[in-house]
Every structure is written in structure tokens, then in C-alpha cells.
Amino acid sequence: SSRFELLDISWFTACMEAGRPVDSELKYRLMDAFEVMAENYEFKENEIFCLEFLRAASVLKFLPFPVTKMKDIQGLPCMGDRVRDIIEEIIEEGESSRAKEVLNDERYQSFKQFTSVFGVGVKTSEKWYRMGLRTLEEVKADNTLKLSKMQKAGFLYYEDLVSCVSKAEADAVSLIVKNTVCRFLPDALVTITGGFRRGKEIGHDIDFLITNPGPREDDELLHKVVDLWKKQGLLLYCDMIESTFVKEQLPSRKVDAMDNFQKCFAILKLYQPRVDNSSYNMSKKFHTEVKDWKAIRVDLVITPFEQYAYALLGWTGSRQFGRDLRRYANHERKMILDNHALYDRRKCQQPGIRFRNRKGCWLLLYQTLVPLAGV
């Protein structure tokens, strides 16, 4: 039987041992179709179907062999009927009629536009679509709409925010963040996470994890950092989320659980060296201003040092890798992984009452915390 019958992580390991992922044009066509399908189900708030296609896409991504016929995907995990139908059609016809239908769908196209605005999710898109709005121009023209502070910033800096963040921009922002944090906490560790830590060349934002080794904690650090940026005129937007961490709280077992760290979703002004001299000279001549900065989305997360490793793992992503890792911990290892810790469920006795006895269980779980290798 196939070695790929094993569950996700062991299957992933088997792939890594078998060799590097093989790229092919067909593979990208399949992954693109899956991503479109997943996105459309996300817009329809059908999480199960959405995840089905996202999983299928990540399985394909790491295949150490090319897919050219249906037999190639035999024994692979996450290849349900909906997924197989699309693979079959793409292998035979070169394209998927279903994915094409979605791409031409009016609702999909509107949601795609709406959700490209920072602060606009599926719920808001649904509301706008129900009101008969179809394009961003129509949304902007409608002055009866009450936009949130976040959405206003999303529209204000729209062009900058949809143009991707480059590695060079990430490095520049990284310097700013490190310099500012170290003014207040000289020993603090500032680590870039998210897509850039995974080696991606571009991203939609830049994610940072901040921690202070040793006993000293500073609950005000994030506030001090953004206050300084405000003073320097670098802060275009800031949504501060205070820590919701309560010691008695049990770990969340949801696959897509967010964490309880103090964090800040911000938009920073990144000054850029002027490259286009002609437009600068033109502007001097006509007394118009040339914009010499770019708005950049930055996420800052601050963690206690003892939870740093788990936070780093969670915030490095990808989102799908996190989901699979948590699923693997839960189903294959009887453990619970979140951005705060790894808990061993088997070492909690009396399974019937362990989740009822809140305080006692939390302590028990903490005693059985399993440190990750290399922490």
C-alpha cells in the first residue's frame, strides 16, 4: 500500500524524504483552481469546503513527483470527490469549468474587490453586496455607508496596501521596529515572522514578534513604541489589542484559534529614497508634492519569554501549516498546541472532569507542558 496513506505530518515527512517538491505547469494550474474554489467557499462562509480545497492545494504543493494523470494522485490524503472532479477536468480539458464559473461570478468578483480593502471581511462584503453594491467605486461613492476607522484607513492607503511589501521594505521596517523597541527595552528580541520568516520574497504585511528574555516584562512597551511613532509622524493607523490572557483559561481546541497576546495591527509610513528624478523635478517646477513614502501594514505581537517558542511557531505560519500541526498534535499525539504552549492531554488524569475543574486543570496542564525541541 502507499506510504501516503499516513496522516498529514507523517505524509509531509515522507514527501520531504522522497525528494524536493516537483514544479510543473499543470500543478500550478491545479493549485490556482483550488485556491479560487477555496476563496469562493470562504466568501460563502462554508469553512468545511474551503478547508478541503486549501488542504488539497498544500498537498499538491509539496508533491515530490509531477501529476499528469489521475493515477498519480492515488492514495494521497485530502483528495475528496469535489477535489478529484476538478483534477480530472483539468487533466482532460486543460481547465476547470467550475473554477472558471467562479471567476466569472458577479458575487465572487465583488467579494474579491471588497475584501481587498484592509478592514473589510466577508461580513461587510455580504452587507454591501446585499445593498446592491458591486464595485469599490460604488462603495466609495455611497456616502450613506458608515465605515469603521480601520476601513477608512483601508481606503485611504488602498493603492499602497494592495501593492505587495518587498523583502527590502521588510528589512527597512525591521530596522525601524528594532531601533524603537530597543530604546525602551535594550535586551528585547525582535523577530520577523509570517511569510518573510518562511523565506517569501513578498508579503501583504510584515509581522513581528517581540519578547524580553529574563524576568523583566513591560506591559507598556507596545504603547511606548506606537506613541513614539505617532510623535515622529510615522504612524498612519493603529489598532491596539490588549492581552486577553487569563491564567485560568483552558487552551482553545479550535483549529483556527487566535491567541491572547497583546498586539497591534498598524500601518506605518515608510520613507523611500526617491528614484524617479524626473517627476521630482516636474513637481518642483509645478509646485506639487511627490509622495516619498509608502504605507505598510505591520503586525506587532508581544509575548512573555516562556511562551515565545510557541508564539514564534504559530506566527511563522503558514496558516495551513498551523492548522495541520494543531490537528496532528490533537489527533495523532493526543496533545493540544496553541500559540501559548503545548499540552499533553494524556497526562491529565480523570478525563471526565479535567475540563470542568478549571483552575486545577490549568495547573495540571502547565505541569505537563512539553517543550519543543531546540527552544
Nearest alpha-carbon partner for 118 in 86, 96, 149, 88: 149
Shortest CB 1 distance to Mn ion, Å? 37
Scanning 61-69, 246-254, 297-305, 357-365 for contacts with Mn ion by CB under 5 A, the matching segment is 297-305
Shortest distance in whole angstroms from residue 352 CB to Mn ion = 39
- Cβ–Cβ under 8 Å, residues 93 and 16: no
Q: Which is nearer to ligand TTP, 41 or 261 (CB)?
A: 261
Instruction: Fill in the per-residue mask, 130 to 169: x = in contact with ligand TTP (CB under 6 A), - = not in contact.
Output: ----------------------------------------
What residue spans of 78-215 are helical by DSSP H? Answer: 81-93, 97-104, 106-114, 122-130, 136-141, 149-156, 158-162, 167-184, 194-197
3-class secondary structure, 229: helix
Pairing status of strand 342-344 against strand 335-337: antiparallel
Q: What span, in angstroms and rounded, lies between the C-alpha atoms of 158 and 152?
A: 10
Which C-beta is closer to ligand TTP: that of 184 or that of 305? 305
Q: Measured between alpha carbons, how far is residue 166 from residues 2, 152, 175, 297, 318 in Å?
A: 41, 24, 14, 12, 18
Q: Does 240 bind ligand TTP (CB under 6 A)?
A: no
The values of phi and psi at residue 343, to 5°, are: -115, 140
Interface characters, 192-231, with ligand TTP (x: CB under 6 A): --xx-------xxx-x------------------------
3-class SS of residue 56: helix
Shortest distance, position 103 Cβ to ligand TTP, whole Å: 21
Based on DSSP, count helices (H) and strands (E) in the chain, helices before strands.
17, 9
* Minimum separation from the CB atom of position 205 to Mn ion (A): 4
Residue count of the chain, please give it. Answer: 375
105 binds, among ligand TTP, Mn ion, none (CB under 5 to 8 A by kind): none
Contact 118, 154 (CB under 8 A): yes
- 15-44: which residues touch Mn ion (CB under 5 A)? none
The reply on whether position 314 binds ligand TTP by CB under 6 A is yes
Cis (ω within 30 of 0) for the bond into 2? no
CA distance 56 to 38: 10
Q: How far is the CB of 317 from Mn ion (least distance, A)?
A: 7
User: If binding means CB under 6 A, how many residues of this protein chain bind ligand TTP?
Assistant: 15
Nearest alpha-carbon partner for 101 in 37, 35, 43: 37
The strand pairing partners of 295, in sequence order, are: 269
Using rule CB under 5 A, residue 207 touches Mn ion: yes
> Which residue has the CB atom at the shortest distance from Mn ion?
194
Which residue of 162, 182, 258, 375 would you call a contact of ligand TTP, by CB under 6 A? 258
Task: Cell numbers for 364, please give them.
Answer: 495540571
Q: How far is the CB of 342 from ligand TTP (least distance, A)?
A: 15
| 319-338 residues near ligand TTP, rule: CB under 6 A | 319, 322
Identity of the residue, 119 or 203, whose beta carbon is nearer to ligand TTP in the bound complex? 203
Which window, 127-135, 218-226, 310-318, 349-357, contacts ligand TTP (CB under 6 A)?
A: 310-318
Q: Which is nearer to ligand TTP, 36 or 133 (CB)?
A: 36
- Give phi and psi for 51, each to the nearest 5: -65, -35
The listed partner (Mn ion, ligand TTP, none) that binds 319, CB under 5 to 8 Å by sort, is ligand TTP
Binding site for Mn ion (CB under 5 A): 194-195, 203-205, 207, 299
